[in-house]
Amino acid sequence: MSDYIVSARKYRPQTFDQVVGQEAIVTTLEHALASNKLAQALLFCGPRGVGKTTCARILARTINETDNPNDDNDFAFNIFELDAASNNSVDDIRNLIDQVRFPPQVGNYKVFVIDEVHMLSTSAFNAFLKTLEEPPAHAIFILATTEKHKILPTILSRCQIYDFKSIGIPDIKNHLEKIAKKEGVTYEDDALHLIAQKADGALRDALSIFDRLVTFGEGSLTLEGVSDTLNVLDYDTYFAITDACLENKIPEALHIFDKILRKGYDAQLFISGLGGHFRDLLVSQHPQTIELLDVGENTKAKYIEQGKKCMPQFLMDALDICNQADINYRASKNQRLTVEIALMQIGSLTQQGQPKKKSIA
């Protein structure tokens, strides 16, 4: 059997200081622990893969910590996890309640983590409510959910609520960088940035994308490889199409777009991505806004360079055209043409933003 462990498990934080991007939560939990003000029922809300289960486990371990260094297996931490997504019946909850009654054999607390608690059936919820109202002193409940709005007010009002947030791109990227170094993976800074961007705030997603791409790239991550595998249009394509438009070379812009379609990319994603590109060029033009440019270092240099070639009016008009095409796209009967017209319009802009030519010839 292979001894390969996925990064999300291998690098699951074991202590609060290893948790990334949830400073407010970690500080509040640590204060509550230090001042003995931890409630018996906690609700961890927030997007998927941002550390809710991880923090629940660390909390369970911390409150049961003994001075015996050998006491560090999961059993000793008295943690009971129920995934309500697949165990949502009254019987499942009754099994759990049965365990609540008895005090732990080791340590002081039993910690019950109910993941995806919004999935419990109404009758299971009701069965659980009584226990939640009067839990024995040794029981702590941590309810985790990605959908807080689905939690009954009766439950909400009995819990201390912790709102986890999605993790920012720089935090995700830093975390990936540390793991890449530990694993001996060679990487381009921009490749990690793109993975962090694609993870959409979820560290677990970032780690699984990372694992997949490291396997695919045989231990090395390049921006080109990552873009290709994730089916993301690479920045160079946007730079090339912008260069063509800046020089009013409409046929060239149309050919690049044709190639994009042949590769199987979605035309609407392309046009909204192009809008994003013009926005990035705009923010790259000023020292006050450059920090709003959320890309890796090499790509940033390219933005600054191309930004210097563009008049702000050109960028604003181009942005407007992309935006309009994006809006019109769904209603259009010829979606390819909608994008092509947008490209022709952008390729007709002069640096002052006025149309230079009316036809593509």
Ligand X SMILES: Nc1ncnc2c1ncn2[C@@H]1O[C@H](COP(=O)(O)OP(=O)(O)OP(=O)(O)O)[C@@H](O)[C@H]1O
Contact set with ligand X (CB under 6 A)? 8-9, 11-13, 19-22, 48-54, 115, 144, 146, 167, 203-204, 207
Residue closer to ligand X, measured from CB, 29 or 343: 29
| Shortest distance (Å) from residue 57 CB to ligand X | 8
Residue closer to ligand X, measured from CB, 13 or 217: 13
CA separation for the pair 60, 81 (Å, rounded) = 11
Comparing every residue's Cβ against ligand X, the nearest one is 51
| Strand 110-115 versus strand 139-145 pairing type | parallel
CA separation for the pair 196, 201 (Å, rounded) = 8
**Sign of the Cα pseudo-torsion (322, 325, 330, 333, in order):** negative
In terms of Cβ atoms closer than 10 Å to its own Cβ (0-12, 13-18, 19+), residue 289 is exposed
| Shortest distance (Å) from residue 230 CB to ligand X | 19
| Shortest distance (Å) from residue 105 CB to ligand X | 27
| Shortest distance (Å) from residue 72 CB to ligand X | 18
CA separation for the pair 271, 93 (Å, rounded) = 50
| Shortest distance (Å) from residue 295 CB to ligand X | 23
**C-alpha Rg value of the chain to the nearest Å:** 26
Residue closer to ligand X, measured from CB, 171 or 280: 171
Residue closer to ligand X, measured from CB, 115 or 317: 115
Residue closer to ligand X, measured from CB, 82 or 325: 82
Residue among 346, 356, 340 at smallest CA distance from 316: 346
Residue closer to ligand X, measured from CB, 17 or 98: 17
Long-range Cβ pairs for the range 8-17 (8 Å, 24+): 8/204, 8/207, 8/208, 8/211, 11/175, 11/179, 11/207, 12/54, 12/57, 13/51, 13/54, 13/58, 14/58, 14/61, 15/58, 16/55, 16/58, 16/62
| Shortest distance (Å) from residue 60 CB to ligand X | 13
| Shortest distance (Å) from residue 211 CB to ligand X | 11
| Shortest distance (Å) from residue 176 CB to ligand X | 11
Residue closer to ligand X, measured from CB, 8 or 290: 8
CA separation for the pair 105, 77 (Å, rounded) = 10
Length of the chain: 361
170 C-beta neighbours (distance < 10 Å), count: 12
CA separation for the pair 188, 341 (Å, rounded) = 36
Residue closer to ligand X, measured from CB, 93 or 203: 203
